[in-house]
Structure formats: C-alpha cells, structure tokens
Structure 1
Amino acid sequence: MVTPLIMADGDSKSLSLVPFLLLILITAPAVTGDSLDSDSQVLLSFKSYLESWNPTERGKYNEWETEKKDVCQWPGITCTPEGSRVTGISLTDSTISGHLFRNFSALTQLTFLDLSSNTIGGSIPDDLNRCHNLKYLNLSHNIIGGELSLSGLSNLEVLDLSVNQIAGEVHSTFPTLCNSLVVANLSNNNFSGRIDDIFNECRYLKYVDLKYNRFSGEIWAGFRRLVKFSVSGNRLSGNISASMFRGNCTLQVLDLCGNGFVGEFPGQVSNCHNLNVLDLWGNNFTGNIPAEIGSISSLRGLHLGKNEFSRDIPETLLNLSNLVFLGLSRNNFGGDVQGIFGRFTQVKYLVLYGNSYVGGIHSSNILTLPNLSRLDLSYNNFSGLLPSKISQMQSLTFLILAYNNFSGDIPREYGNMPRLQALDLSSNRLTGSIPASFGKLTSLLWLMLANNSLSGEIPREIGNCSSLLWFNVANNQLSGGLYPEFTNMGSNPTPTFEVNRQKRDYIIAGSGECLVMKRWIPAEFPPFIFGLETLTKRSCRSLWDHVREGKCIFPVCPPGSTVGPLDISGYLQLSGNKLSGEVPANISQMKKLSMLHLGLNEFEGKLPIEIGLLPLVFLNLTRNKFSGQIPQEIGNLSSLQNLDLSYNNFSGNFPTSLNDLSEMSKFNISYNPFISGVVPYRGQLATFEKDSFLGNPLLQLPSFFNQSGNNNTSSGERDNGREEEDDDGASIDMLVFYWSTFSFYVVALMGILVLVYFDCPWCRAWLRLVEAFTVSLKIMLS
C-alpha cells in the first residue's frame, strides 16, 4: 500500500494520485543542464521522490528549499570551490527507504554519493551507471538486491556496497571498473562466482574486502600488492602457494578465515614485512606453523584456530614483540597446555578454547603472563579445583573457563580482579556458594555461573556490581531470596563502557566473539533474538564491539510506549534453583532489565505491581508459588513478547489489560486454578491456543475454543466466554438467524434446480449470490 503524501497545509492527497506521481518522478524526462539552477531542480526532484517514499520520518534532505538558502548550503550538498555546480551528496543515516532515485546522472558534475546506513531497497538502476564522473560511491548498510552492473563508472576510486543483499557474479563490473579504483568493499552480500582473475587490471587497488559472500574457486594470486585483503566466510578452496608472496608484498591485513583452503601454509608470508594481522582461522591447513612468521616484527594479530596444525609451536614466534592477539583454538592439541604459551609475555589475548586439554594450566606458566587481558580456556577437559592464582593477573578483563570439568568451590580471590568485565564459569561441576567478594567487581558486565551445583544464597553484595547487566545462575541449587539489595545491580555500567570505547583494538576481532555471544546473550529469548538474527548474518564481530562499548543494539521500549528504540538490554536469569521469598517492590529500579526469568523456583507471595515499570520483553515465572491477583500493570509492558505465569497459585479476576499486549507472541497462564473471570474473545489473547489456558476451571474461555480447527476443546468445556448479560435476547437473535439461514438455503436450492433444468442467466446470478452468502456465513460463524 502506498502511503498518502502529506501536504504543507496538513491535507493529504488522494491515494489514487500517489502511484501517478511516483510514475512521473520515475519516468519523466531527465532534468539536465550545466548550471547550478539545473542541479537544484534535480535535487528538488530527488527530494520529492524521497518524500513520496518517506511521508513521516525524514532526514536532512527535508530542509532543501531554494527560497531559504543557496543550493550549496543545503545539508548534505557540496559544490565546486566557486559554487557553480553540485559535486557531492551525503545523506548517510537519513531514514531513507524505497528504491534508488533514477536521475542522478542529470547531475553531470557529481563525483561523491553517499547514501549509506538507510533502508534503500530494490536494485541499482541503470541511471547510476551513467554517472561517469563519480569517484566515490557508498551504498553500504542498506537492503539493495539484484545484481551488480557498474561498468560505466570508469573514474571510480572508492566503491562500498557492503551489508546489502546484492547477488550474482561480478565479472560484468570488474575489471572494467578498475581504471582508478583504490577501495572495493563488497562484503556481507550474496555475491557468487570466481574471483581469481577479476582484479588483475586494477593497478591502483589497495583495499579489497569480499568477506561473507559465496565466492568459490581459487583465490586471486595478486593479493600481495594490496594493503588489505579479506575473503573470510566464503567458499574458496585450494592451496596458498609460496609464489603468491614472491616479490614486493605490501599487505598489512590478510584475512583468509572461514574458507576451505588446504595444505601447508607457506613460510614465504614473511616477505610481507608490514603485516599487522594474519587470520587463517577456520580452514584445513595442516603441517607445522611456519617458523618464518616469527620474523614479521609488525605482526599484532595471529589467528590460527580451527585448523589441523601440529601442536609444536615455533620458538621463533616469541620474537613477535608487538603481538597482541594469539589464537590457537580448536586444533585438537590435547594433553597439557604447551609450555611455550607461558613465555608470550607480550600477548594480551590468549585464546585456546576447544583443544581437549586435560592439564598444564600451572606448569605452562600462562597464569604468570603480566599483560594478559583475555584468557579463554573453555571447551577443554580441565578438571580439579579452579586455580586461585588467576586472581594475581590484575590486567585480566575476560576470564572464560566454561565447559570443563572443574569442581569444588569458586575461589573467593576471584573478587580481587578490579578490571574483570566477564567471568564465565558455567557448565562445570562447581559446588559451594557464590563468594561475597564478587561484590567488589564493579567493572563486571557478565557473570555466568549456570549449569553447576552451586548452593547457598546469592550474596547481597552482588548488588554492589554496578556494571553487572547480564547475570545467569540458572540450573544450580541456590536458595534464599531475591533481596532488595540486588536491584542495584547494573545501575551504572557507563564507566565500564567508556573504558572499552577508549581502548578499542581492532585486533580483537575474530577471537571467538561469536561463540561467547551465543552463550552470554540468550539469543533464544526476546529481545535478544535480535542478536541471534544478527549473528546469522555473519556480522558478530561488529556486534561484539557494540555490546562491550554499550552501544544500543536491542529493541527495548519503556512501559506504555508503543515503539521499541534500541537500548542497553540487561537480563536476570535465575531459573532452575531453590530460590524463595517474595519479589521486592524496588525491582522497578532495574531500569535496563528486559528479561526476567524466575521460573522453576519456590518464589511466593504477591507479584508487586511495580513490575509494570520495567522495560520487560520477556517475563517467565512458571512453576513457583506466586499467589494473589495478577497485576493489571503488566498490561503496561507494551514491548512484552513472552509471558509465562503457568503453574502458580494466582487468583482473582483475570486481568483483561493483558489483551493490550499487542507484541506478545508466547503466552501461558495454565494451571492457576483460582483465577476467575472472562478471557476476551477478541484481541491479542484470542490468537493463542487453548494450551495457554489449561487447568483453570474458573476461567471462562472464548467460544472459538469449542469449534473444530486450531483451538479444540472437549464437549465438557463448552464456551462460557462471551458476555452473558443478554442471554435471552442472544438466544432469540440466534433463533431468528438460524431460521433466516434455513429459509435462504431452501430458496437457494430451488434456484439451483431451476438452473439445472433451464440454464437461465438470472439463475447463474442467483448461484453467485448463494456462494457469496455462504462465504459471509463462514466468516460470521468463525
């Protein structure tokens, strides 16, 4: 449906005019010329086109007016130095939707066009191919589809089409686009085909990013003359030969991860003297890690995980004095952690998860590394007590020991690491209590202790963790209550986020963020399902930086709001324990809490009405002992998508305010036998199956549960859900309805018999009337 155009005086044009106006904008003869006036006319036409697609939310182009300012002073417009012609348009992040404008070529001096970070769809029009003077084109972060054909842009120097939906091969554009091209970013699309020869004629090319597409075949052999070459997440295969590194190599970043390369990786990579990042993760490389890598003094990031390298680590790698990140996860090393890792004193990030190690944490001396910021030993076979010596690593910010066989108590010394932002000890065999010393971890963002055998109370000191937004202790044996002190948790994470923004290091990317995010962000629960969708789009590297820097990425809306702006979204996951007592009223202070899972515990008492003040998207209280009235205030949680109140002792009238939760997709109030009242037969609650209301004998359900189809009930549970105040009148009305329907069909049958014998035109019209009545009758009865 086309949205009506909004006029300046507030009146809206007829809907019938809009397609006509769009047709004029798209098919009208191009406005061309060689003057600033003609350029302004093109821009005003462009503005009208954008407004037709975006009748409400509009960007800075909405300020384009000839009466107020000179064209060259319009927001997002640049001109020649003397102000005679328009040369640039920059409307990045301007809430633009719809298809691309089809008359940019009329701006004959246009050299710069940036429409990135919008929601532009459709395909790239042929008109753009006629912008022969264009040097900079950025259409990244849109939803553009179709295939690529830009062979006419022979003067282009920068091309950025990343994060779109463009498909097909690129041979029709390359190498004809290569005269002046310096930057080619086609990442995060659906491109396919071969790339082994498309850049041969690109003499000035320096930066190529093709990651996360569907390119196949062998690699382009000329990549050594670039500065950056990334093909991660494709379907490339074959060997990386020594000849690819012969001669002058200017590479600073070589990213081959997530493909199907095989064989030994050549030591001639050492010819790339300026290499900063070498990423070979996720291939099938075999043999020894090349000792020659140790001569690349500039190397800062070395990603060798998920291959089949030998467990012998070359001593020469210790010469890499600038090495920040060392990743050797998932190489099936086994045995004890190699002793050489304890000698990488310069390394800040050591990632060794998924190697089936059984020991060597102490003997390798990795716990004495003075600069270590991240240590990931998850998914191994370590056993015994957790090493308390880790607490002496004062620079540690991320400690990940999940999915091992550690047992015994959590050392209270772990509370003495002031910089710690993430502690993941989940899925081990830990017993004992959560140390009260954790209350000193004021920089902690994540505390993951799920799937152990921890007991005792959650210490009240946890409330002192002012940055703790994400707390998961599910499936333990914890007891005690949800004390009021807990509600201070995560009250001020800003200082931690600020530290991460100031110390951002692009070298970190590729160090297992996708794996930990799937554990730390419960993507199966809203609103975090958004995170899962993003991960499946293969962009978790940038998402990881957004999360740790506190940028708003999850759709959360405050109570009473009908929109879901992106915000920081916290969770409290306490399910599967023995927690008891009442939920404190001051839980409303947890202003960033969007997921609250208290299921499978022993909580009791009334649910405080203050819960309606939280920006909840997920609320699960199943299998507890809650009683009293379900707060009407839950109906204020406009963004609530998942609500489970089943298996409790709630009583009183069913709150009809729940019918206002238009975003709710999962709902369960089963087995609360003391709830009474009427469930509305229209609205959001009418969209759920009978399974959402089982075991509530006093609750009157809508009549559609008694009909055959999606909502089936037994004959003993016939409808009592409609309003009963006019039962007698309703019975009379239904009697009249049934008698009228019977009479209509008797007459209809007579008409059909006449049609069979006489085939008259009016009889056919009568038959069509019968068909229409039958359809209407089905709709009324449903």
Structure 2
Amino acid sequence: MTGSFPRFVYNLPNLIFLSIENSKLSGPLPADFGPLSNLNSLSLKGNRFSGRIPDGLRKLKELTALHLGENRFSGKIPNFWDSFPNLVYLQLQHNKLSGGIPTSIASLPPNFQNLELNNNQLSGKIPEFISNFKGLHTLDLSSNMFTGVLPKNFNNLTGLMNLNLARNKLVDPFPALAIDRIVSLDLSYNKFKLGKIPEWVASSDAVDSLKLAGCGIKMRLDDWKPSWTFYIKFNIDLSDNEISGSVVNLANGIERLEGFWMSGNRLKFNLSDFKMRESLKYLDLSRNQVFGSVPESIVGLEKLNLSYNRLCGKIPASKFPASAFKGNACLCGSPLPACRRQ
C-alpha cells in the first residue's frame, strides 16, 4: 500500500482493531481520529509516516495497544498519555523522536506491560515513575542518549522479562535488581562497571539472550556456573570486557547456542575443545588468546571472527574472508597465504 493514511476507515465507526503494518504508507497522520473512537488496538508500524505524532490520537480513549514503531516520526513524544486509561502496550521504536520521556506516561494504568522507545534520539534521565509499573514485562530504551543513573526503585520491577538499555550514556551505580525470570537482557555499551554478571541473571531458568558487552566485567569465566535449564536459540555477548579463562564449560553446556560473541577479552583455551553445535550460526572470539587449530566444523557457521589470537595450522576450506583469520601468526592456507611445504 502506498499513499497517505487511508480515509475509508473513517466509514467504519465500530472498528475496534486496525493494523496496517510493513507497507509504504507515508506523510503525516491525520490531525483528528474522531470517527475511530472505538478503536481498541492501532498498529501502523513499519511504514513511512513522518512529522509529529498528532494530538488527535488522544481521542482514542479505548486504546489498549498503540504501535507506531519503525516509521519516521520526529519531534517530542506527546504529553497526552493521561488520556489512555486502558493502554498497556506502547511501541514508538525506530523513529526520530527527541526530548525526554513525558511525565504523563506515569498516568498509564498500573498493569502497563510494554514500553519500547528504542532507536530514537531521546535524552535526559530515565524517570523514577517507570518503577511504579510493577506489571511491566518489556522495557526497551536502547540506542538513545539517556544519561545519569537508573532509579533505585527499579528493583520494584520484579516481573521484567525483557530489559534493554544498551547504547546509552548511563552510569553506575547499577541498582540491585530482583528480577524473578529474565529472558532477554542487554546493558551493553553504557558506562557501567558491573565487575561481575549479576546474581539474578545466573539464577534465572529462562534466559535466551544475555548481552553485557563493554560493561566492565572482570571475572574468570571458569568460575561462573549459571543454573540455566531452558534454552531456545540462546545468544550471549560478553565482548569488550576483562573476562579471563576458558569458555568451553559454558558454551558446551548450552544445547541450542546460536550466537556467541566474546571478542576483546583475555580468554585462553584450545579451540579444538569448543563444540561447534549445529545450532551455532555466529561466533566471534577475536582479540583473545585462543590457541590450537581451526576445526572443519566452522563450515556450518554464517559469521565467524577468529582474528588476533594464537591459532596455528592450515585453515579448512570455508566461505569466510581473510579478515576472519588475520592476526594469527601461524595460520595459513586460503584465504590467507599458502602454507609452506615442510
């Protein structure tokens, strides 16, 4: 679909669900949504709508879900959220929104569950009132410009399952959270100095994505024994920390490991001991002290980076470029220079 917001829906006053996603609709949204006052759910994500989010949306008082993500909206987030007594899902991610998180979001109902504002140009501090939404299960504020510390009352958010604060400018101290069952966690590339992986992460039985890259973690990985028992395409990224030891016990114990990023640490182990499972698609062990030879099982990977380690021997036939193997003094064979004959 192309063109502007379809006006024919105004002839459907009893409409309660409207979803036009991943199309090519463009231009501003209408200033007035009055005829659609019975809408319960509105999703326009994945289009090319632009301009400001119109004030006329406040007339849709019956909304429980509003999805405007992946468009080109700009300006500040409107401060009209006290008009939505039943809203539990709000997604405004991947736009060009600026300014802070408006205070009227504090007026959303106590059972508010999902807030996604990631990949915008938002700034300021993360407000204290977010801690009041004890039913919140997804909070994604990543890839913005938030500063300062997280509110101490974040430990009230015990029901969080998905927390993403990556790529902001947040600083210590990181609060002691008491999350019962984290599924997806990403705190990467802020200004945190966590020292170690939080205890509540190790004790969760449902983690499928753990990303703590550049979080100032200093620990020996051999000593870390999480109690995870549930794996669905598990992904782990602990790159750019000061982690030492071997990844073998951790990685080999994850049955459906899909992505494993550990670049820029102080890891030292024999790559031959690393189990290349069929589920594994992405592996980055670059800039460590990994030794041994490159196994033939790398052929099953989609992306690989073993550069700047201490690997030796002939590289098995694969599709990977020279950049995946450079910086290993005694690796040879295509795509690197040929091995010398003995």
The TM-score range, normalised by the shorter chain, is 0.7 to 0.9
Check whether the contact 1:640–1:661 (CA below 8 A) recurs between aligned residues: no
Spell out, residue by residue over 1:605-653, the C-alpha distance to the aligned partner (whole angstroms, 9 max, x if none).
xxxxxxxxxxxxxxxxxxxxx15xx2544366456555555554455xx
Check whether the contact 2:29–2:53 (CA below 8 A) recurs between aligned residues: no
Describe the shift of the 1:358–1:584 C-alpha distance in structure 2 as closer, same or farther (beyond 3 A): same
Separation in 1, partners of 2:42, 2:219: 47
Separation in 2, partners of 1:275, 1:483: 57
Describe the shift of the 1:636–1:327 C-alpha distance in structure 2 as closer, same or farther (beyond 3 A): closer
Asked whether 1:685 is paired with 2:325, we answer no
Give the residue type in structure 1 aligned to 2:316: L
State the shift of 1:429 in Å: 0.4
Separation in 2, partners of 1:634, 1:287: 53
Aligned to 1:659: 296
Separation in 2, partners of 1:279, 1:315: 15
Taking every aligned residue pair, what percent have the same amino acid on both sides?
23
Spell out, residue by residue over 1:754-781, the C-alpha distance to the aligned partner (whole angstroms, 9 max, x if none).
xxxxxxxxxxxxxxxxxxxxxxxxxxxx
Pair member with larger Rg: 1
Separation in 1, partners of 2:58, 2:287: 62
3-state SS of paired residue (2:18) = strand
Aligned residues: 332
Q: 2:2 aligns with which of 235, 260, 264?
A: 260
State the shift of 1:449 in Å: 1.4
Aligned to 2:199: 460
3-state SS of paired residue (1:278) = strand
Larger strand proportion of the pair: 2
Describe the shift of the 1:718–1:380 C-alpha distance in structure 2 as closer, same or farther (beyond 3 A): closer
Aligned to 1:488: 227
State the shift of 1:428 in Å: 0.7
Separation in 1, partners of 2:289, 2:133: 49
Separation in 1, partners of 2:61, 2:280: 55
Spell out, residue by residue over 1:536-567, the C-alpha distance to the aligned partner (whole angstroms, 9 max, x if none).
xxxxxxxxxxxxxxxxxxxxxxxxxxxxxxxx
Check whether the contact 2:158–2:180 (CA below 8 A) recurs between aligned residues: yes
Q: 1:356 aligns with which of 90, 93, 97?
A: 97
Asked whether 1:374 is paired with 2:114, we answer yes
Give the residue type in structure 2 aligned to 1:469: D
Asked whether 1:574 is paired with 2:207, we answer no
Describe the shift of the 1:671–1:366 C-alpha distance in structure 2 as closer, same or farther (beyond 3 A): closer
State the shift of 1:369 in Å: 0.9
Separation in 2, partners of 1:471, 1:407: 22
State the shift of 1:390 in Å: 0.8
State the shift of 1:372 in Å: 1.9
Aligned to 1:445: 183
Separation in 2, partners of 1:460, 1:408: 23
Describe the shift of the 1:689–1:466 C-alpha distance in structure 2 as closer, same or farther (beyond 3 A): closer
Spell out, residue by residue over 1:211-246, the C-alpha distance to the aligned partner (whole angstroms, 9 max, x if none).
xxxxxxxxxxxxxxxxxxxxxxxxxxxxxxxxxxxx
Aligned to 1:395: 135
3-state SS of paired residue (2:99) = strand
Check whether the contact 1:463–1:488 (CA below 8 A) recurs between aligned residues: yes
Separation in 2, partners of 1:711, 1:587: 28
Check whether the contact 1:460–1:485 (CA below 8 A) recurs between aligned residues: no
Q: 1:696 aligns with which of 315, 320, 329?
A: 329
Describe the shift of the 1:396–1:570 C-alpha distance in structure 2 as closer, same or farther (beyond 3 A): same
State the shift of 1:576 in Å: 1.5
Check whether the contact 1:670–1:695 (CA below 8 A) recurs between aligned residues: yes
State the shift of 1:384 in Å: 2.6
Aligned to 1:288: 30
Separation in 2, partners of 1:310, 1:640: 42
Give the residue type in structure 1 aligned to 2:341: D
Q: 2:175 aligns with which of 404, 411, 435?
A: 435
3-state SS of paired residue (1:390) = helix
State the shift of 1:351 in Å: 2.1
Separation in 1, partners of 2:133, 2:58: 26
Aligned to 1:252: none
Give the residue type in structure 2 aligned to 1:718: R
Give the residue type in structure 1 aligned to 2:140: I
State the shift of 1:287 in Å: 6.2
Describe the shift of the 1:405–1:641 C-alpha distance in structure 2 as closer, same or farther (beyond 3 A): closer
State the shift of 1:581 in Å: 4.7
State the shift of 1:427 in Å: 1.4
Q: 2:266 aligns with which of 596, 599, 602?
A: 602
Separation in 2, partners of 1:402, 1:634: 32
Aligned to 2:274: 634
Aligned to 1:719: 341
State the shift of 1:464 in Å: 1.8
Give the residue type in structure 2 aligned to 1:271: N
Separation in 2, partners of 1:401, 1:661: 35
Give the residue type in structure 2 aligned to 1:261: G
State the shift of 1:284 in Å: 2.2
State the shift of 1:575 in Å: 0.5
5+ residue gaps, structure 2: none
Separation in 2, partners of 1:477, 1:388: 25
Give the residue type in structure 2 aligned to 1:685: P
Check whether the contact 2:88–2:112 (CA below 8 A) recurs between aligned residues: yes
Separation in 2, partners of 1:644, 1:316: 47
Q: Summarize the alignment of residues 198-277 of structure 1 with structure 2, pairs less than 5 Å apart.
A: 259-262=1-4, 265-266=6-7, 269-277=9-17
Quote the RMSD (CA, aligned, Å).
Answer: 3.5
Separation in 2, partners of 1:696, 1:480: 28
3-state SS of paired residue (2:221) = coil
3-state SS of paired residue (1:579) = strand
Q: Summarize the alignment of residues 637-648 of structure 1 with structure 2, pairs less than 5 Å apart.
A: 637=277, 647-648=287-288
Separation in 1, partners of 2:305, 2:237: 19
Separation in 1, partners of 2:302, 2:57: 57
Check whether the contact 2:194–2:215 (CA below 8 A) recurs between aligned residues: no
Separation in 2, partners of 1:328, 1:650: 45
3-state SS of paired residue (2:235) = strand
Describe the shift of the 1:334–1:448 C-alpha distance in structure 2 as closer, same or farther (beyond 3 A): same
Asked whether 1:472 is paired with 2:215, we answer no
Describe the shift of the 1:641–1:293 C-alpha distance in structure 2 as closer, same or farther (beyond 3 A): same
Normalised to the residue count of structure 2, the TM-score between the two structures is: 0.79
3-state SS of paired residue (2:154) = helix
Larger helix proportion of the pair: 1
State the shift of 1:406 in Å: 0.9
Aligned to 1:307: 49
Separation in 1, partners of 2:202, 2:316: 37
Q: Report which structure shows greater RCO (CA 8 Å, sep ≥6).
A: 2
Check whether the contact 2:65–2:87 (CA below 8 A) recurs between aligned residues: yes
State the shift of 1:415 in Å: 3.2
Check whether the contact 1:455–1:476 (CA below 8 A) recurs between aligned residues: yes
Check whether the contact 2:256–2:279 (CA below 8 A) recurs between aligned residues: no
Check whether the contact 1:386–1:410 (CA below 8 A) recurs between aligned residues: yes
Separation in 2, partners of 1:584, 1:318: 54
Q: 2:75 aligns with which of 305, 328, 334?
A: 334
Aligned to 1:544: none
State the shift of 1:294 in Å: 4.0
3-state SS of paired residue (2:181) = coil
5+ residue gaps, structure 1: 1-258, 494-567, 604-625, 721-782
